[in-house]
Amino acid sequence: MGEPAVKILVLEDEPDTAGYLRKGLSQAGHVVDLCHDGRDAFHLALEGVYDVLVVDRMAPGMDGLKMVKSLRAAGVLTPVLFLTALGGIGDRVEGLEAGGDDYLVKPFAFTELVARLNALARRPPIAEVQTVLQVGDLQLDMLKRTVARAGRRIDLKPQEFRLLEFLMKHAGQIVTRTMLLENVWSFHFDPKTNIVESHMSRIRAKVDRGFGKELIQTVRGAGYRIDASA
């Protein structure tokens, strides 16, 4: 994908899934360390050499949830993505409250996992939060809630603005449909309707049409990406 390798620690006790994760993530160009035990994972993560942690909620030795809580208590801020087979009602909130940054319910599409890991690993540090996002000649001001391309102001509806904001925050990365549903609409379920597609086509009509170069791309079978260099 042309992106620098991400160092990932995976805590997963089930050998099948662990092997599948290692193989898939390595193929995607990442460096993967596998761990079967929560305590081991805790000590490895404590060293702070990883860009992102993938943690199964249920792991022997130390429960995944507890491990992340302990890490946060120890001041380790490495982004954490929880994996779970449960998908219960309160599980997501519980995971986020424990200090997790994202949450993925098994089964998941691999593209989904990779997209989320990229988003987590390349998240800008909190200190340098920008208020204006820029992709090519497209500008989005998060404070004034305005969008302009090539100096021309573009009017977006609130949800369209949020969608474009999320895309631009992850410029150059693939953003999946589920990630958009979760972050733009706070929908943590799977609607059968093509909500994302309908909104996306409107944004495209406003942002890309009549400006020559199309910034928003559809990545088949994966999601969307906004990129000025493509």
Partner 1 sequence: MPLPRITGTAAFRLATLYGLLFALGAVVLVAFFDLTVADYARRSLRDDVTSEIQLLERTAPGGNATGIAALVRERQRVLGSSAFYYLVFGPGGDLLAGDLPVSAGRRGWAEVQVPAPPESREYAEEMAEVRTLGETLPGGGLLVVGRSTYDFHELRETLVEATAAAGGLILLMALCVAFLIGRQVLSRIDRVNAAAARIMEGRLDERLPAMGMGAEFDRLAANLNAMLDRINGLMEGLRQVSSDVAHDLRTPLTRLRGRLEAALGDGAPNPERDALAQAAMAQVDEILATFSSLLRIAQVEGGGREGFRPVNLSEVVERVQQAYEPVAEDEGRAFAGHVAPDLQVDGDENLLAQLVSNLLENAFAHTPPPGAVELSVRAEGTRAVISVADKGPGIPPDERAKVTRRFYRLDRSRTTPGAGLGLAMVQAVAQLHEGELVLSDNRPGLVARVILPRRPRVQPSAPSAPP
Residues contributing to the site for partner 1 (CB under 8 A): 14, 16-17, 20, 24, 85-90, 92-93, 105-111, 157-159, 185-195, 198-199, 201-202, 221
Name the minimum Å distance from CB 124 to partner 1. 27
Name the minimum Å distance from CB 3 to partner 1. 16
Name the minimum Å distance from CB 88 to partner 1. 5
Q: Which residues contact 71 (CB under 8 A, 6 or more apart)?
A: 42, 45, 46, 53, 78, 80, 99
Which residue, 21 or 121, has its beta carbon nearer to partner 1? 21
Name the minimum Å distance from CB 197 to partner 1. 9
Which residue, 185 or 211, has its beta carbon nearer to partner 1? 185
Partners of 216 in the β-ladder: 226
The DSSP element (H or E) to which 33 belongs, if any, is strand 31-35
- Calpha distance 65→93 (Å, rounded): 12
Assess contact for 95 and 55: CB atoms under 8 A.
Answer: no
DSSP secondary structure letter of residue 204: H
- Specify the residue for token string 């006790």: 13
Name the minimum Å distance from CB 92 to partner 1. 8
Name the minimum Å distance from CB 176 to partner 1. 13
Which residue, 171 or 180, has its beta carbon nearer to partner 1? 180
Which residue, 187 or 211, has its beta carbon nearer to partner 1? 187
Q: Under DSSP, is residue 153 helix (H, G, I), strand (E, B) or coil?
A: strand
Assess contact for 147 and 161: CB atoms under 8 A.
Answer: yes
Dihedral angle sign, alpha carbons of residues 35, 2, 125, 171: negative
Which residue, 130 or 201, has its beta carbon nearer to partner 1? 201
Which residue, 15 or 48, has its beta carbon nearer to partner 1? 15
- Calpha distance 215→13 (Å, rounded): 41
